[in-house]
Every structure is written in C-alpha cells, then in structure tokens.
Amino acid sequence: MRAPLGRYVVRRLLYALPTLLGVTLAVFLLVRLIPGDPARLIAGLLASDDEVQRLRVELGLDRPMPEQYARFLASVLAGNFGLSAVTRTPVIEEIGIRMRATLTLAVTSTALAVAAGLSAGVLAAAYHNTAVDYAVMMAALGGVSVPVFWLGIMLMLLFAVHLHWVPAGGSGTPAHLILPAVTLAAFSTAIVARMTRGSLLETLNLDFVRTARAKGIGEGAVIIRHALRNALIPVVTVVGLQFGTLLGGAVLTETTFAWPGLGRLLVSAITARDYPVIQGIVIVFAAMFVVVNLVTDLLYVAVDPRIRYG
C-alpha cells in the first residue's frame, strides 16, 4: 500500500520545520558563544557604555536565555534581523538587496551547469569509449578537482586581464555575469556530466532500449527520446544536492569577482565583526539550503513514480 503523495509532502514539510528551528537555535547559540559581551559585539566597537547598556535592554540580553531565544525567534520569523553594527541599516534590507545578485548568479550557474553538463554527458555516453568520451571525462575530472577561487582567478587572468573580453569584476551589465557564472558552474557542470553519462550508459543497457533499437529507431532518437528521459532522474537529485556546494562556492566566487551578493557581504561582515549581519545571512543561507533539499526530495518523487514515498 502506498501512502498518498499529499501526505508524504506534508510529512516532509513538517520534517523540515524542526531543522529550520534548529538552524535559528544554532545561530543564536553560536553568536552567544563568542567570548565577551554580545551587546558590545552587536553595538560595534565605536559604541559608548550607555549605548551598550541601552542595547542590552533593548535586545533583552539581561533576560534568561530561553526567553532571549523566544524573542530572537519571534523577530526572525517577522523578518527582523536587527540593525547592522556598521551601517546601522536594517539587516533584512541589506540582505534583500544582495539576495538578487546572489540568486542571479546561482540561477545562471545552475542553468549553465545543467545545459553544459547534460550535453557533455550525453555526448560522452553516445560516444562511449571514444576520444569524445575520454575528453569529456578528463574535463569533468578537472572540473571537480579545481578549487573555485583558483579557477576564478585563472579565468579572470585570461579573459579579463589578458584578452579584455569581459570585465574582471563588479556588476551592472550581463558581461559582468559571465566570468562568475562560468566559474561557479564549473564544479556542478562536471558533476552533472558524470552523472548523466553514468546514468545514461546504465539505461542504454536496459531491455526497453534494446526493444526500441530492434524496432529500427535511429540511435539518436533512442538516446534522446527513450534512454535520456529515464536517465535524467538521478541527475535531478544531483543538481539539487549540488546547491550546498554552490552556496559555498558563491561566497568564494563573489569575493573573487567583487560580485555584490550575499556571500561577499558575509565575508565583509565577518571581517568587520558585524554580528547581526553574519547572523542574518547565515540563517538565510541555511534556510535556502534546507528548502532546496526539500524541493529536491519532493521533485525526486514527482519525476520517478517508482520511488516509494512513505
């Protein structure tokens, strides 16, 4: 007996909630683990004693821990991450502005990785054990081996500094997006290519593919119309699971190319010890990660009716 899909979705959603709660608790405790007075830390280095005292009361830091957490959680749920210790603007506003840049980068990279990775993987599988296959696998090996920041600098050196094709950093025009997106996509592209190739090769050995060939269908149609559709299922998961690496990579890529996203804001906040901003970004990143994992899980069940959800 299979449980209805709706119930699985609800259960999976309910399961994600404690994780999200846990994330806020972990961040809450982490910031309070910092040696020293959190009020002074949040107030920043330039604050006077009076200001710190006012902030302590304002933030409820003079109250017991569980109550502090409850208040913290309530304000986070209301989208209130407090004020930046450096700029004195609401953290949520700053995150909102930067989020666009990070999402643009992440979505472009993912699209690039799927398009390039799928094509390369299909090619490698179609020309299995030929020079094409070896070339794709070598490139994929390079893609998973190379650290994202090193690749970024190398691309910058070649295409921006040396050839002047694209700007070296910054944002504003679509041309600014090219290098960061390619850099960030490299690892995922390699993973998608490997996964597609492996999964497609496996599928091509199955009986229904032999039947399709026996019917006299051309090899191209066999691969694209019959095998690939079935081979895509693990690829969907892998794209979703890549997301965590992608977020980590985004921090590095954004810093390399001065891309004004959340990752770069996080790094500058860490350097400036701007804890409200750090707190807010870490929660947003973790929440994005949890949600994407959730969507991946649900998508996995949706694309493959054979999977038992229970």
Partner 1 sequence: MSPSTRASDTDKGVRSTIPSAGRSAWDRLRRRRTAAAGLVVLGMLLASSLAAPLLMGDPDAVDFAAVLQSPSPAHPLGTDQLGRDLLTRVIYGGRISFLIGALAVLLALAAGIPVGVISGYAGGTVDLLVQRGVDLLLAFPGFLLALTLIAVLGVGVTNVVVSVAVAAIPVYVRLVRGATLVIREQTYIEAARALGAGDRAIILRHVLPNCLTPVIVQSTLQLGAAILTAAGLGFLGLGVRPPTPEWGTMLGEGQTYLLVHRHVSGSGHLSRGHGVQPGRRRSARRARSTGRGPGIMFAAPRFA
Task: Give CA separation, 75 vs 15, 78, 82, 169, 227, in Å.
Answer: 22, 5, 8, 36, 50
Closest CA to 190 of 135, 228, 144, 236: 144
Question: 32 or 71: whose CB is closer to partner 1?
Answer: 32
Q: Hey, what are 160's tokens?
A: 């921006």
Least Å from the CB of residue 275 to partner 1: 8
Question: 150 or 208: whose CB is closer to partner 1?
Answer: 150
Q: CA angle 118-127-231, nearest 5°?
A: 40
Least Å from the CB of residue 249 to partner 1: 8
Which DSSP category does 90 fall into? B
On the CB side of 291, how many CA atoms lie within 13 Å of its CA? 6
Least Å from the CB of residue 259 to partner 1: 14
Closest CA to 183 of 154, 161, 211, 205: 154
| Phi, then psi, of 90 in degrees rounded to 5 | -60, 135
Question: 57 or 65: whose CB is closer to partner 1?
Answer: 65
Which DSSP category does 83 fall into? B
Question: 48 or 129: whose CB is closer to partner 1?
Answer: 129
Least Å from the CB of residue 171 to partner 1: 16
Least Å from the CB of residue 231 to partner 1: 23
Question: 30 or 221: whose CB is closer to partner 1?
Answer: 30
How far is it, in rounded angstroms, from Cα 18 to Cα 213? 50
| Phi, then psi, of 83 in degrees rounded to 5 | -100, 145
Which residues bind to partner 1, rule: CB under 8 A?
18-20, 22-23, 25-27, 30-31, 33-34, 138, 141-142, 144-150, 153-154, 156-157, 161-162, 164, 168-169, 243-245, 247-249, 251-252, 255-256, 266-267, 269-271, 275, 278, 282, 285-286, 289-290
Least Å from the CB of residue 243 to partner 1: 8
Question: 33 or 131: whose CB is closer to partner 1?
Answer: 33
